[in-house]
Amino acid sequence: EKIEEGPPRRNITRKKTDPTNNGHYSSRSKKQGGAGKGKWDDPMDGSDHVAIEPLDENDPLYVAEDDADPSSYILSSGEAADKLRHSGAGPSAYDASTDKAVYGPMLTLSEFKIRVSDAIREYFDSSDADEVVRCIDEMKCREYHPEVVKRSISLGLDAGPRERELVSRLLACLHPNPLADEEMEVGFEVLLDSIDDLAIDIPDAKAMVGSFVARAVVDEVL
């Protein structure tokens, strides 16, 4: 006589089931981390206690920035700031929040552009050129000063005649301090290099930029 077999799992009882919970599994009784093995009790595995040898300047992989003075830091990625620090010259600014000297500009170029644009837009409303001068002085980013010329004229091109007149007056107020002769000249050169891009959105950009240049000459800015 053939005996009918039941399902193979019929009489199997799962481990760690809770008989008081209708036989359902409860994770509360599970041993976390293998009864203590592999727990994250000590975050230090000893690897950071290895003695760090001083950098060798003759090493082909030597990078001067990695051997920086721990009492100072550089916010600029340009070579000028790094040369300034290694030349023995004094820092360009001091960051009170980190209690460290700063070599190079206090802001990145993107941050500088945003702040300059905001200052110029406020200037269009207030006509207070002295406030723009103070803003540029406080940012302590002399390496980016030519960008002030480009940003101010570019914003003036998108505005009306009143704003363009204010931009010309602002440039006269910015020269020679905080924008020196060379910084003002470089700013106009950068602007002229981007004139084709400006003309895409502003058809009269070339003519208006020419007027800005002529006005700068008359105001002895150039």
Q: Print pLDDT tens along the chain (222 aa).
A: 555 555 555 555 555 555 555 655 555 555 555 555 555 555 555 555 555 566 666 666 555 555 554 444 444 444 555 554 555 455 555 555 665 666 667 889 999 999 999 999 999 999 999 999 999 999 989 999 999 999 999 999 999 999 999 999 999 999 999 999 999 999 999 999 999 999 999 999 999 999 999 999 999 999
Q: Using CA of residue 170, residue 175, residue 178, residue 180, what is the dihedral sign?
A: positive
Name every residue whose Cβ is closer than 8 Å to that of residue 206 and which is 6 or more positions away in sequence. 195, 199
Which pLDDT does position 106 carry in this prediction? Answer: 80
Which pLDDT does position 72 carry in this prediction? Answer: 47
Q: Going by DSSP bridges, is the β-strand pair 72-74/93-95 parallel, antiparallel, or unpaired? A: unpaired
The amino acid sitting at 47 is: S
Cis peptide before 178 (omega within 30 of 0): yes
How far apart CA 211 and CA 188 sit, in angstroms, is 12
Cis peptide before 176 (omega within 30 of 0): yes
**Burial tier of 208 (Cβ tally within 10 Å: 0-12, 13-18, 19+):** middle
How far apart CA 140 and CA 134 sit, in angstroms, is 10
Assign 95 to helix, strand or coil.
Answer: strand
Name every residue whose Cβ is closer than 8 Å to that of residue 106 and which is 6 or more positions away in sequence. 75, 92, 93, 95, 139, 140, 141
How far apart CA 171 and CA 155 sit, in angstroms, is 13
Tokens of 42: 């000590």
How far apart CA 37 and CA 88 sit, in angstroms, is 53
Name every residue whose Cβ is closer than 8 Å to that of residue 165 and which is 6 or more positions away in sequence. none
